[in-house]
């Protein structure tokens, strides 16, 4: 009934005043509805904008992180050698390569001594944190030396072409030599005879009780020093495919094996270290070949007959102590060699030569530190030097013999060859412009003085076993020898 009345009332004309009030009410309700709608639209717009901003920020963070990790960081320079940059990306690859070779080497030694397994685990942990760990100064230093060696080949008139690299890789992975080995100069007959005499003398030296047949502990390479594949010269990997030892492959078979081995090696290298074939040539093969070329060139210039002196020395820590020793051995004007040797035995801090009266044996130039060497070669037989300072302390030097053309012993010749590359590289490093972001390695402790190769062996007193009877076996002739000091 009420509904019908309302409909009839709606059909009747509305008074003017009432019409105005209804219109205002309608407009007010319309504005209210419109304001609420606008507010909701505006809130939705703000929400969408906020969500878009957050999404954009997340995307930017992800893109920025990826850009930093895969573009910016790998291109960051860690060191520079005469303007050539060593990037962090190359360091990561080289470091992984180095750690993998060390792991394989330690695994070999662990098979003989389980204690090395600890080193294997440590290196495996380092392998997983190469990107996040601090830069290893030794590894970066090796990369700097490699780059410098490649750069300075021309100072010796040497060069490496792409053909040389290809031949190096072929030779490396071939099961047999594909080219004639480099001819080595014949051994000086006098030096060979000395070596034979030394070997004979060592053969009759009594062996301390309980040491017969006991192998010495092998010492693997220092971590950070790259080697190519286990138990080979650094940079010389072993091919994965080889022909059985019983077969003697011809050149074609050897080349085929080399190709397969190199291909497999490069593929595995990409997976394990991130190195491409180009990276391997640039970071490993070329520097290794450069070191071989430089070493061959330098050692070929070493003569097996050189001027040498036979010298003795007394080493002490202070100049005052050296002055007193000098005064004692030169008292009266004449040098007392016997007194010199006695003072060396009792006063010298060089434990490697003191038991022999300070005898250094014969040595040429290039073996001792420069200041010591210059002083020794300035003396004539029977003369003693004024105190000479080196990094080891203060020396008083006695020369008893000298010769202008004495053959080098095989040990001394080998020592000179080993030191040739290091000395050449030290000289190149001194004249190069090298920068590095890696922290400088800690200053090593002062190394003890080392006698030159071929110096007389230090006399070692023979230990006489002391009989010890087994407890409770009085009168029983079953004495157990004791080697306890």
Cβ atoms 195, 304 nearer than 8 A: no
Is residue 376 classed exposed, middle or buried when 0-12, 13-18 and 19+ CB atoms within 10 A define those classes? buried
How far apart CA 280 and CA 197 sit, in angstroms, is 46
Q: Could you give the C-alpha distances from 360 to 177, 193, 332, 410, in angstroms and in order?
A: 41, 21, 26, 16
Beta strand segments in 265-377, E: 305-316, 359-364
Cβ atoms 350, 304 nearer than 8 A: no
Q: Where are the alpha helices (DSSP H) in 152-218?
A: 162-173, 189-203
Would strands 393-407 and 388-390 be described as parallel, antiparallel, or unpaired? antiparallel
Residue 473 is given by DSSP the state: -
Q: Could you give the C-alpha distances from 269 to 97, 101, 284, 469, in angstroms and in order?
A: 8, 11, 12, 62
How high is the pLDDT of residue 459? 63
How high is the pLDDT of residue 206? 40
**Residue 417, H or E segment:** helix 410-430
Distance from the Cα of residue 318 to its chain's centroid: 35
How high is the pLDDT of residue 15? 57
Low-confidence spans in the chain with pLDDT less than 50: 204-246, 461-485
How far apart CA 380 and CA 376 sit, in angstroms, is 9
DSSP 46-94: HHHHHHHHHHHHHHHHHHHHHHIIIIIHHH-EEEEETTEEEEHHHHHHH
Q: Could you give the C-alpha distances from 260 to 3, 257, 273, in angstroms and in order?
A: 99, 5, 20
Packing angle of the helix pair 137-151, 286-300 (nearest 10 deg): 60
Instruction: Return the bridge partners of 402, or none.
Output: 309
Instruction: State the CB neighbour count (10 A cutoff) for residue 72.
Output: 12
How high is the pLDDT of residue 7? 57
């Amino acid at each position: 009934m009420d509904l019908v009345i309302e409909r009839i009332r709606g059909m009747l004309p509305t008074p003017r005043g009432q019409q105005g009030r209804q219109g205002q009410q309608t407009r007010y309700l319309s504005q209210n509805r419109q304001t609420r709608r606008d507010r909701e639209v505006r809130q939705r717009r703000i929400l969408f904008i906020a969500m878009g901003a957050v999404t954009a920020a997340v995307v930017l963070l992800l893109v920025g992180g990826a850009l930093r990790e895969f573009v910016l960081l790998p291109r960051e320079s860690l060191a520079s050698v005469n303007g050539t940059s060593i990037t962090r990306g190359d360091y990561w690859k080289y470091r992984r390569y180095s750690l993998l070779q060390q792991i394989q080497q330690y695994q070999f030694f662990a098979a003989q001594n389980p204690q090395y397994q600890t080193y294997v685990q440590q290196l495996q942990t380092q392998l997983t944190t190469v990107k996040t760990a601090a830069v290893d100064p030794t590894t970066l230093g090796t990369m700097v030396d490699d780059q410098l060696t490649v750069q300075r080949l021309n100072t010796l008139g040497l060069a490496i072409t792409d053909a040389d690299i290809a031949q190096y890789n072929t030779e490396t992975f071939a099961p047999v030599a594909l080219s004639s080995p480099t001819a080595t100069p014949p051994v000086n007959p006098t030096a060979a005879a000395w070596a034979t005499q030394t070997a004979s003398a060592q053969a009759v030296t009594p062996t301390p009780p309980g040491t017969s047949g006991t192998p010495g502990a092998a010492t693997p390479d220092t971590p950070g020093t790259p080697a190519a594949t286990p138990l080979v010269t650094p940079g010389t990997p072993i091919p994965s495919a080889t022909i059985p030892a019983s077969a003697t492959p011809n050149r074609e078979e050897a080349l085929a094996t080399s190709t397969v081995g190199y291909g497999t090696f490069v593929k595995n290298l990409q997976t394990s270290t991130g190195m491409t074939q180009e990276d391997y040539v640039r970071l490993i093969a070329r520097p290794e070949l450069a070191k071989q070329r430089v070493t061959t060139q330098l050692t070929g210039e070493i003569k097996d007959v050189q001027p040498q002196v036979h010298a003795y020395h007394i080493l002490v820590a202070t100049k005052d102590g050296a002055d007193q020793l000098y005064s004692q051995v030169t008292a009266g004007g004449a040098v007392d060699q016997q007194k010199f040797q006695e003072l060396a035995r009792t006063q010298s801090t060089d434990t490697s030569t003191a038991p022999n009266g300070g005898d250094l044996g014969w040595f040429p130039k290039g073996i001792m530190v420069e200041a010591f060497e210059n002083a020794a070669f300035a003396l004539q037989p029977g003369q003693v030097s004024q105190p000479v300072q080196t990094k080891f302390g203060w020396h008083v030097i006695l020369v008893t013999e000298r010769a202008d053309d004495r053959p080098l012993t095989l040990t001394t010749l080998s020592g000179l060859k080993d030191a040739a590359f290091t000395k050449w590289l030290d000289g190149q490093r001194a004249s190069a412009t090298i920068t590095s972001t890696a922290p400088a390695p800690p200053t090593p402790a002062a190394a003890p003085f080392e006698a030159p190769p071929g110096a007389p062996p230090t006399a070692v007193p023979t230990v006489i076993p002391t009989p010890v009877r087994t407890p409770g076996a009085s009168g029983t002739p079953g004495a157990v020898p004791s080697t306890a000091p």
